[in-house]
Amino acid sequence: MSMTETLEATPFQTYYKPQSEEYLHDFRTVVDRLFTKTHERIGWYEPWQAWIVTSHDLCKSILADERLTPDFMKWKFAPPAQSEDQKNDFERMLDHALFRLDKLSHRRVRRLASKAFSARMTGSMERNIKAVVTAAFDKLDGQSHFNVAETLSIDIPRGAMSRLVGIPPEKDEIFHKLGWAMVRYNGIATTGEDRTEILRIALEGVAMLQGVIQERRDRDNPGDDFIGMLLTAQEGDDRLNDWEILGIVAAMIAAGSDTAGDMHPTLLYALLSNPKQFDKLKANPDLANNAITEILRYEAFGKTGLHRFALEDVEFDGITVKRGEQIIIAAQAGGLDPKQWERPLELDIERNLNGNIVFGVGAHVCAGLFLAKIQARLMLQAFAERFPNAELAEPPTRDPAHYNARHITKLLIKTNV
Ligand code: HEM
């Protein structure tokens, strides 16, 4: 079957409604209905002009399949490629982002950047990230209620990313705006007018980053922090150039800004609505790493999924994905697949999560895993210490128009201190 033949709604299309109100508030029920009412695990989704894949196994094997690429420019609906001299610096930076590179270049850049992303390097930043977390909680002192989405969700990811990359604090705002611009520039819902404004903001951010890199190159010793490690990374004579370093930072802010922002309310919502699990975590803080991954499986905030574009015709589950077509890996659905997980609709912070795809898998596996986990763990620790009796004041409010997430705009917490 090909997409042109799918004129009548398939069972998949009948049950899998990622843009519905129900999905926004209760995605587990929608996904579970798909898993219990039909055997179809892949279907064409007209509004996004994409195939969507939902089973854990299929999600995993497609993520590892190099006949597909995350490079949006390989989509048959992508804007025509520009010649080099037509490109502005923002587009040049995006061209070098990790998810735009061809297979071999991507492998090479990830290898050269591996030390900068390592647990050791990120761990060495723990003190700085803790200071960011402490400052974010200090702002909440004395409050009877606070909205996580307007406080911790903004202050912690922004500060943690800036400190990791080594952005001077006074440039934090422009750095953050670059992230905002990047994820929207090629978004499905972005109009031409939006794009002009997004570009203006983005170019300011790129110029700022170029300045930061240049300033480091001018030093005798570029330092042993993130940028320093990228500047000195070497394999034989091979080194990263400035565009490649910018491309790495571009990928980090594109992939790590909104995600980390959504992570904090998601963690708190899941734990406050499952107090026994929270008590277990408080009693045994060593469970934090597992708890964070489990919450991101159980209460996954993704609405679309991970995007891939077929470099050639490929067949999955009896469906041919034609060259240039888009396939969306709905890892949030895979996380609830009863073939993979026992009692998938329950939160169990001690669950054996071997084989999970919460942070992706294969060549493009999350490079910011350690940063995400450190900030999550420090946030949860500080929350439990400062607000041991906190409760949810009301159910979360989510943005139905958000382009790719069940994004929480308001999670009101009653501190009870
Ligand atoms: C809850 C937080 C996060 C989640 C759930 C998450 C999840 C993911 C997933 C699933 C992928 C794979 C994408 C794909 O295969 O298309 C990915 C890639 C990536 N993530 Fe994260 N991420 C998170 C936070 C972060 C943070 C904080 C950073 C930045 C430091 C980051 C940086 C990256 C980068 C650079 C990639 C692209 C890697 C590549 O293409 O080689 N992520 N992330």
Name the residue with higher pLDDT: 319 or 5. Answer: 319
CA distances from 21 to 71, 256, 295, 402 (A): 30, 26, 21, 12
In the predicted model, is pLDDT for residue 5 greater than 60?
no
Which of ligand 1's atoms lies nearest the C-alpha of 97? 40
**Ligand 1 pocket mutation, candidates 259, 264, 266, 328, criterion most atoms within 8 A of CB:** 259
CA distance 352 to 367: 22
| CA of 155 relative to ligand 1 center, distance in Å | 19
CA quadruple 256, 326, 90, 229: dihedral, nearest 10: 40
Which of ligand 1's atoms lies nearest the C-alpha of 308? 16
Buried-exposed string 278-302: b where 16+ CB fall within 10 A, e elsewhere: bebbeeeeebbebbbbbbbbbbbbb
Residue type, 308: R
pLDDT of residue 183: 76
259 lines ligand 1 (CB under 6 A): yes
Q: Which residue has the tokens 């150039």?
A: 241
Tens-digit pLDDT profile for residues 320-335: 999 999 999 999 999 9
CA quadruple 208, 211, 215, 216: dihedral, nearest 10: 70
Among protein residues, the one whose CA lies closest to atom 30 of ligand 1: 368
366 lines ligand 1 (CB under 6 A): yes
Beta carbons within 10 angstroms of residue 6's beta carbon: 17
Q: Is 409 helix (H, G, I), strand (E, B) or coil?
A: strand
In the predicted model, is pLDDT for residue 199 greater than 80?
yes
Mean pLDDT of 10-37: 97
In the predicted model, is pLDDT for residue 192 greater than 80?
no
129 lines ligand 1 (CB under 6 A): no
Q: What residues are paired with 314 via a beta bridge?
A: 321
- Two tokens, residue 146: 């606070």
| Polymer length of the chain | 417
| CA of 38 relative to ligand 1 center, distance in Å | 31
In the predicted model, is pLDDT for residue 7 greater than 90?
no
CA distance 33 to 50: 21
pLDDT of residue 225: 87
Name the residue with higher pLDDT: 114 or 196. Answer: 114
CATH number, domain with residue 84: 1.10.630.10
Ranges 3-17, 204-218, 304-318, 388-402: which has the least confidence: 3-17
Mean pLDDT of 244-256: 92
Mean pLDDT of 157-180: 90
User: How many structural domains does the chain have?
Assistant: 1
| CA of 359 relative to ligand 1 center, distance in Å | 6
Tens-digit pLDDT profile for residues 74-106: 999 998 888 989 999 999 999 999 999 999 999
In the predicted model, is pLDDT for residue 2 greater than 70?
no
Where does residue 394 fall: left (phi above 0), alpha (psi -120 to 50 degrees), or beta otherwise? beta
Q: Count H helices and E strands in the chain, helices first.
A: 17, 14
In the predicted model, is pLDDT for residue 360 greater than 60?
yes
**Ligand 1 pocket mutation, candidates 366, 373, 378, criterion most atoms within 8 A of CB:** 366
Phi, psi values for residue 57, rounded to 5°: -65, -45
| CA of 364 relative to ligand 1 center, distance in Å | 8
| CA of 161 relative to ligand 1 center, distance in Å | 13
Residue type, 331: A
pLDDT of residue 298: 98
Mean pLDDT of 184-205: 81
Tens-digit pLDDT profile for residues 102-140: 999 999 999 999 999 999 999 899 999 999 999 999 999
CA distance 64 to 50: 19
Domain of residue 273: give its range: 3-414
CA distance 116 to 124: 11
59 lines ligand 1 (CB under 6 A): no
Q: Is 256 exposed, middle or buried (0-12, 13-18, 19+ CB in 10 A)?
A: buried
Q: Is 326 helix (H, G, I), strand (E, B) or coil?
A: strand
CA 345 to chain centre: 22
Q: How confident is the model at residue 187 (pLDDT cuts 50, 70, 90)?
A: low
Q: How confident is the model at residue 186 (pLDDT cuts 50, 70, 90)?
A: low
Who contacts 236 (Cβ-Cβ below 8 Å, separation ≥6)?
none
CA distance 213 to 228: 9
